[in-house]
Amino acid sequence: MRIALLTQWYWPETGPAGLPGTLAAELVRRGDEVHVLTGFPNYPSGRIDPGYRQSLYQREEHDGVIIHRSPLYASHDHSARKRFMNYASFALSATLASMRLPKFDVLWVNYSPITTALPMWALQLRQGVPTVCEVGDLWPDTMFVSQLHGDDTMKRASGFLHRWTNAMYRSSDAVVAIAPSVCDVLVDRGVPRHKVHYIPKWAQEHVFCQPGASMRSSLGIGDEERVIVYAGALGRAQRLGALIDACARLPLHERPRVLIAGMGTDEQNLREMAKSNDVNVDFLGHLPQEYMPDLLASADAGYIGLADEPLTRMTMPSKTQAYLAAGLPIIAHASGDVLSVIANNDVGLVSQSGDVQSLAERLRRFTSMSTCELQRQAENARKLYQQEFSLQRGAERYQELFRRLQGRDRTLISRNAPIRRDAGRVFAPLQLSDVRAAARLHERAFPDFFLASLGEGFLAEFYRGYCADDESIAIGMYDDGELVGTVLVAMQPAGFYRRLLTRRLVPFAFQGGLAALKRPRIALKLLKALMYRGDEQPEYRGAALLASLCVDPKTQGTGGGRQLCEAAEHAVAMRGTSQIYLLTDAEDNDAVLRFYERGGYEHVETITRDDGRKMRRYLKELN
């Protein structure tokens, strides 16, 4: 398989910026051909790395990966203007560079920063390549907790940023979250559940999976002392002050030794806290990455602290994977996903962010643990990493996802072009090129119904809305290539018609206006239809809605209606939904009622609409 990775940051950049490189190399090791479209390395210094000189385009190879580099404005300081220039310059140059790339089977996109959407859309438009979008930092939420100057402007632009990210989700065939709670957030924001996948990130295994030599003796630490290590940024968000405060609440003989490696804005305050509270903390300053195995080998546990904020509850800090890979139990003072991972797998001790007394109690428990207990948690940590968080496991999950998407044609041209159908009866996704035929079919099947009175143009927009929506199912029944039946399903009925009308209000209003000019009597009913918000009953929120079933009168009696129902039910079940329901007229509709009842649909209630129309609701459990 030929795979493309689109990421602004890549090897030889370090830290989280280096993780796409480890994925690419692992995929090559597994037999795939991998290309990477990226910028010239400048993270985290904000200066182009020595050995590189920017040009309009550069091609190189590393670890068997073919790397395509495009220029950018190098910057990584706190200026919002300069950071935007960094993001935008790569997006524009990468869009141009994408024209040089060969045809791919699948495209993986690191969606942070979200300006990578431009080269992503360019590749989709030109190649029709199936796309996997990985959501690391959740945008635009991450902008509100960043330290960028000018973030008030970002807040005012939040509506635009939400629309931008939603467009990225819609144009992706799969959206990957690296923390479990982010999956639920994405679904809440309208991403179909079947498109969302959880694939956790891995550690820098060449660093954290390596054995180290303990530094205890050089630091004057006795074998009997319990040691906690922290390596990273020293800011208020990391809650290192809570760790020092919790240590100070314990008697001297119960206090652990704390090793802190790193630099940051809160360092001086932390030093003063440790000194005034007589807490035994060693501030080691910035340590090169090659010292990390030795540092972690000197500790009995690693510390993770997170502020109790909405975004951090959905965060899986990279230290989690680093500690697990090193076989180091974790003491966490946080909330959300990271606490669940630690507590559910017996790999450490947890306390809720903000509850310093609870943290102090966990530290007391830590210092009193036996060597066997610590070894058990260390072994659990290594085992959990290999089973859930390792590079090997992540690459397996991505390969499985890539192969599932391989061969899917999603070009804009192909979505509108007619598709040749085989002879005989065929059931296939309804294409945008068929919406006019579907509208004419609807008029023939339901000549006396209100929607048919609105004309072919309005009906075409109605079918187009279902075909273009990822949260819907539109299936066509074709006899010798001719469309003779359709079925439409809304996977998330609550809010579906609101979204449909919002996205296509202008064409709906235009086509509706033409219909009203021809038949003024329907104007009021049309206005009510445009204001319709769908059937949003809470008790059926988990079920899919069979919104329309249409069979050409000339083919009725051939079993097409039943076959369309079965095709829709199968498609719904494949997306993980176990119920489907529908609404149909309760009066003068005996044949239709018998049809659904024979198909296993159970009559659950009869309702009366505002216009006095009585409707029956039918529900079917799907195996």
Sequence-distant (≥ 6) Cβ neighbours of residue 611 within 8 angstroms: none
SS3 content of the chain, % helix, strand, coil (to 5): 45, 20, 35
* 147-163 pLDDT per residue, tens: 444 445 555 667 778 88
pLDDT at 416 over 80: no
The whole-number average pLDDT for the span 352-376 is 94
Residue 410: the pLDDT is 55
Cβ burial of 515 (10 Å; 0-12, 13-18, 19+) is buried
CA distance 156 to 622: 45
The whole-number average pLDDT for the span 242-249 is 94
- The beta-strand segments (E) located in 276-347 are 281-285, 301-305, 330-334
* 284-304 pLDDT per residue, tens: 998 888 899 999 999 999 999
For 201, the token pair is: 């990130």
pLDDT at 529 over 70: no
**Higher pLDDT pick, 266 / 15:** 266
pLDDT band, very low/low/confident/very high, at 380 (cuts 50, 70, 90): very high
* 8-60 pLDDT per residue, tens: 999 999 888 889 999 999 999 999 999 999 999 998 888 999 989 999 999 99
Residue 191: the pLDDT is 85
3-class state of residue 446 by DSSP? coil
For 507, the token pair is: 């064409």
The whole-number average pLDDT for the span 597-620 is 90
The answer to whether residues 175 and 133 touch, using CB atoms and an 8 Å cutoff, is yes
The answer to whether residues 528 and 514 touch, using CB atoms and an 8 Å cutoff, is no
Residue 422: the pLDDT is 54
**Higher pLDDT pick, 227 / 422:** 227
The whole-number average pLDDT for the span 444-457 is 80
Whose tokens are 């309009």? That residue is 56
pLDDT at 396 over 60: yes
Residue 32: the pLDDT is 95
Helix 523-530 and helix 505-518: axis angle, to 10°? 170
Sequence-distant (≥ 6) Cβ neighbours of residue 605 within 8 angstroms: 616, 617
423 Rama sector, left if φ>0, alpha if ψ -120 to 50, beta otherwise: beta
* 105-150 pLDDT per residue, tens: 999 999 889 999 999 999 998 888 999 999 988 776 666 554 444 4
The edge-to-edge listing of strands for the beta sheet with 106-110 is 58-62, 65-70, 33-39, 2-6, 106-110, 131-135, 174-177, 196-198
Least confident of 420-424, 450-454, 480-484: 420-424
DSSP bridge partners of 616: 584, 606
The answer to whether residues 261 and 197 touch, using CB atoms and an 8 Å cutoff, is no
Q: Which of 369, 294, 353, 373 is nearest to 326 (CA)?
A: 294
The whole-number average pLDDT for the span 268-272 is 93
Residue 501: the pLDDT is 59
Strands 131-135 and 65-70: unpaired
The answer to whether residues 385 and 325 touch, using CB atoms and an 8 Å cutoff, is yes
Strands 579-585 and 544-551: parallel
The whole-number average pLDDT for the span 209-232 is 91
DSSP bridge partners of 478: 426, 483
Residue 415: the pLDDT is 45
3-class state of residue 178 by DSSP? coil
* 173-201 pLDDT per residue, tens: 999 998 888 898 888 888 888 889 999 99
- Taking residue 101's Cβ as centre, other Cβ atoms within 10 Å add up to 20
pLDDT band, very low/low/confident/very high, at 610 (cuts 50, 70, 90): confident
Q: Which residues of 573-584 are buried (b: 16+ CB within 10 A; e: fewer)?
A: eeeebeebbbbb
Half-sphere exposure (Cβ direction) of 22: Cα atoms closer than 13 Å: 20
- Taking residue 103's Cβ as centre, other Cβ atoms within 10 Å add up to 11
Distances (CA, A) of 247 to 320, 333, 359, 618: 22, 13, 9, 62
The answer to whether residues 63 and 25 touch, using CB atoms and an 8 Å cutoff, is yes
The answer to whether residues 131 and 121 touch, using CB atoms and an 8 Å cutoff, is no
Mean pLDDT score of the chain:
86
Residue 148: the pLDDT is 45
* 571-584 pLDDT per residue, tens: 898 888 889 999 99
Residue 284: the pLDDT is 92
H/E segment holding residue 429: strand 425-429
